[in-house]
């Protein structure tokens, strides 16, 4: 054993904090993206059925 201190080379990442609430930037981005997708799913028109014009 070399006795060297083993440390993680992966950085902890950014964290956003409001008062008692702490959340990683990655999680915040995912949640905000989900909300945006939800709103777009309600607002955006759905493509028309290609069979609609057929007799």
Partner 1 sequence: MSRTDPAAPPRAGNHDSWTRALSGWIEGLVPKGQWLPDRQPAYVASWIYVFGVACLAALVVVIASGLVLTFGGITWWHTNSFGHFVNSTHLWSVELFFATMVIHLWGKFFMAAWRGHRGMTWATGALAFFGSLGTAFTGYLIQTNFDAQWISTQAKDGLNAAGVGAYFNVMNVGQMVLWHVSFLPLVVGVIVGLHLLLVRRRGVVPPIGAESPVGAESPVAAEPPARAQPPTASAPDAAPPGAARPTAGVSAQEVGS
Q: Please report, as residue ranges, which positions from 20 to 49 form the binding site for partner 1 (by CB under 8 A).
A: 30, 33-34, 37-38, 40-42, 44-46, 48-49
In the complex, the smallest distance separating the C-beta of residue 20 from partner 1, rounded to whole angstroms, is 18
Are the beta carbons of 25 and 15 closer than 8 angstroms?
yes
Tokens of 15: 């964290």
Q: Locate tokens 């409001």: which residue?
A: 18
Out of 1, 10, 13, 20, which residue is the one contacting partner 1 (CB under 8 A)? 10
Binding interface with partner 1 (CB under 8 A): 8, 10, 30, 33-34, 37-38, 40-42, 44-46, 48-49, 52
């Amino acid at each position: 054993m070399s006795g060297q201190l083993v440390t993680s080379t992966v950085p902890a990442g950014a964290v956003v904090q409001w008062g008692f609430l702490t959340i990683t930037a990655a999680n915040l981005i995912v949640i905000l993206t989900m909300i945006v997708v939800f709103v777009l799913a309600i607002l955006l028109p759905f493509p028309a059925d290609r069979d609609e014009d057929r007799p």
